[in-house]
A and B are shown apart, each in its own frame.
Chain A
Amino acid sequence: MMFSDLNAIWFVLVGVLFGGYAMLDGFDLGVGALMPFVKKDHDRRILYNSIGPVWDGNEVWLVTGGGALFAAFPEVYATVFSGFYLAFIGLLFMLIFRAVAIEFRSKEPWGWWRRMWDWSFTVGSVGASFLIGVAMGNIVRGVPLDARHEYAGGFFDLLNPYSLMMGVTTVALFMMHGSIYLHMKTEGDLQQQVRGWISPLIILFIVCYSVFNLATLLYVPHITDVLRDQPLLFAVVVFLVLAIANIPREIHHGRDARAFLSSCATMLLLMSLFGMGMFPNMVYSLPNPENSLTAYNASSSQKTLRIMLIIAAIGVPIVLAYTVAIYTIFRGKVKLGKDSY
């Protein structure tokens, strides 16, 4: 069913782009959230430089995901971005603070300067993670849409407990992912310190995620219905549990890279669970489900979807090839040098 039509393919591809964003920029944002727990300037620079060469490439996944959403599902793009106006402007501010903090921070040696940008980095990273989570929470839970598919709620309707919980869960998830990434990129005392964070963060994430899922089962019946109809989803859940459980095991055996890959798998499985729970809905309308935006009523013309598929078929393999090459060139522990941040 999933691969028989262009709309479904683009539903998956947009999901892949945003999933790629969560998997890659997720650890950058997590590193930002963890920055206050590292005190020495040298160690902080290690943290910055662990993401230094890759963070802006990672942010491109969000830019491209947004572009693909615009191209393939303009109705979703228009409704969500205008409906969540203040939240998205806030997200932009957070991403700006995060970006310039990395760029500016180590350019001057003064203590106040570095502390200021460290805070900008942390606030930007946590804020962006949180707002991304809140937006996704609202999309899962459903938002009021009118008959023309325009958002019919206000800004404060977005701040419901369910979506706020999703925001907190996302911060916890990115922190967990960030700590596992850092464990791979650090050595010595700093690595020991990072290692101490991993288990508590995994537990924190599992607690948040369990509460969130309980809330989903109790308060979001349209997702519960999907779960009941598609037993296959439980297989994904099993893989998810295995992937998370594998992380401490790999850390214990000193296989940092495999722990990180396991964490990446966790991110992708979470994203596919999200997508499978939603399909074909892209924005669920509550209280009038008939106004929901779906992969079928919100898409561009078949011709555009086909052209875009050709563009993706040419572009994505090239992107993946050099992304892997670049991660390979910058693999291993971070060493500070003259080009470092």
Chain B
Amino acid sequence: MNIEILSRVQFAFTAAFHYLFPPLTIGLGVILVMIEGMWLKTGDRKYHNMARFWTKVFALIFGLGVATGIVLEFEFGTNWATYSRFVGDIFGSALAAEGIFAFFLESGFLAILLFGWDKVGPKLHFFATCMVAFGAHFSAVWIIVANSWQQTPAGSHLEVDGEVVGAGFKMLPEHLGSARMVIDEFWEVVFNPSTVERLSHTLMGAWLAGAFLVVSVSSYYLLKKRHHEFSRLSLRFGLALAIVASLCSLVTGHGSAKVVAEYQPSKLAAMEGHWESGPNAPLHLAGWVDEENGRTVGPSLPGGLSWLIAGTADHRVTGLSEIAEEDRPPVQATFQFFHLMVALGMGMIGYSLWGGWLWWRKRLSKLEHAETRWFLKLGVVAVLMPQLANQAGWFTAEIGRQPWIVWGYLRTSDGLSAVVKAEQVLASIIGFGLIYLLLFVMFVFLLNRKIQHGPEPMGGAIKEGR
């Protein structure tokens, strides 16, 4: 295998594995703020015990997130050195800001969240919880700023050998070492055309991950008839967040797609398997892309895509056949990941609304109703939905960005480290593969142990240490 494929596989693998954890801490952070807020408001001990249990789950997830997160920051330099030189002026600033503004906040106040229960008062503890949640969101802000700038560069220009050149510049191998993106306007970089839409969509995905984890564990306890009061309440916190976040995902997802349509037409065409340019572009509900013959088979709504983008079927949508083959992303993968994400998103909306209906009918935790039992059984496994949807969404975004690493400026194949050999990358992939497999097994094992151990009895005495 060549070094480009190996480097991409390694980055995709380490990023995807890392991304199991941060969405959970972002979403769970919101839930912790809600629960502790209720504790502070009502003074009811049961909220305190709930917060303590979810904090322990949070700590385990956070630990894995920290351990796997530092890898990504190193990998830009180790595997993508030419890219790093090219974008350092812009991309590096966002990473540094993430460290200074977000990571310090998160990890600093985490100490109080985890170990400060007896050292600080409830108000300061609540403040620390808010800061951890805020830090988690703020780190998402900066990393999405960085990634969105790669998707829709703004506030910067290209220089080769210190000379300003236009956007249409044809990059040749001899230019690579000296080509640089240079910043013009910081706020244009931060608020590049896709930042706001992509950030809000990513955060809703993260809220869903946290919400569904809470729904899943609570459903499990209810079905097993354990920790009834705890799980009855937790389920409501999780479900409330799930309803809000799943509906907002629809809105923010639609917004993101419109930005893609405007700034990354080839990505949109691949997401929808749309080949022939023109008005009345169909919307595929599912399907299979026949890349050889340039068509997509599957059920579709005529004019649906045009209508979604512009509100009218007359809107012209660029098709893949208009785009040079070397500028197209891998169509099948982009199409399938995108449709998987959408399907899961719809599934989560349906599930959340179903839960809302049961809640309204006051049947949410009443096991005597068969419907409730089915709802809870599905709830236990539903934790996989946001995880899969988040992964599928990122695969859509990143595969759909190909062949560019910085849209319109630098190709992924040109961003590699000049001095790193394929066999070195292969060695590190094997290393990461083995270590992450071990970590994943440990994580599932310990999370399960924690869930089996369960929360302290609601309102009861607290057992002293292990």
Contacts and interface: CB of A to CB of B under 8 A. Distances in A.
Interface of A: 52-54, 56-57, 59-60, 62-64, 66-75, 77-83, 85-86, 88-89, 91-93, 95-97, 99-100, 102-104, 106-109, 148, 150-152, 155, 300-301, 303-304, 307-308, 311-312, 315-316, 319, 322-323, 326, 329-330, 336-340
Contacts of B417: 78, 82, 85
A338 B462 contact: yes
Contacts of B59: 103
Interface string B410-436: 000000011110001001100100010
Given A64-B99, A148-B177, A75 B78 contact: no
B93 A329 contact: no
Nearest to A155: B424
A81 B78 contact: yes
B45 to A, nearest CB: 15
Contacts of B186: 307
Interface in B28-81: 59-60, 63-64, 66-71, 73-74, 76-79, 81
Nearest to B67: A99
Contact of A319 (B71, B98, B100, B463): B100
Interface in B354-384: none
B107 A56 contact: yes
Contact of B119 (A67, A72, A80, A329): A329
Given A151-B419, A307-B93, A92 B64 contact: no
B335 to A, nearest CB: 34
A74 B108 contact: no
Nearest to B85: A78
A106 B368 CA distance: 40
Given A82-B81, A86-B424, A300-B92, 19 more contacts: A53-B112, A60-B104, A63-B73, A64-B96, A66-B74, A69-B92, A85-B420, A86-B428, A88-B78, A89-B431, A92-B74, A99-B63, A100-B67, A109-B466, A148-B177, A304-B90, A336-B465, A337-B118, A337-B465
Contacts of B465: 336-338, 340
Contacts of A59: 66, 70, 107
Contact of B89 (A89, A104, A109, A301): A301
Among B60, B109, B417, B464, the one with the most A-chain Cβ atoms within 10 Å of its Cβ is: B417
Given A89-B431, A99-B66, A100-B442, A70 B96 contact: yes
B120 interface: yes
A190 B208 CA distance: 47
Contacts of B184: 303
A46 B11 CA distance: 37
B96 A74 contact: no
Interface residues of B, number: 73
24 contacts: A57-B104, A57-B111, A62-B70, A64-B99, A66-B77, A68-B99, A70-B95, A75-B85, A78-B81, A78-B85, A82-B420, A85-B78, A85-B419, A85-B424, A86-B424, A91-B74, A100-B439, A104-B446, A300-B92, A307-B183, A308-B96, A319-B100, A322-B104, A330-B115
A308 B111 contact: no
Contacts of A336: 465
A86 B427 contact: yes
The majority secondary structure among interface residues of chain B is helix
A104 B112 contact: no
B101 interface: yes
Contacts of B63: 56, 99-100, 102-103
B205 to A, nearest CB: 23
B169 interface: no
Interface in B109-142: 109-112, 114-120
A315 B116 contact: no
Nearest to B62: A56
B182 interface: yes
B318 interface: no
B323 interface: no
Contact of A67 (B68, B89, B96): B96
B60 A103 contact: yes
Which 10 pairs from chain A and chain B are nearest by CB? A74-B88, A81-B77, A64-B99, A71-B92, A70-B92, A315-B100, A103-B63, A53-B111, A82-B81, A67-B96
B91 interface: yes
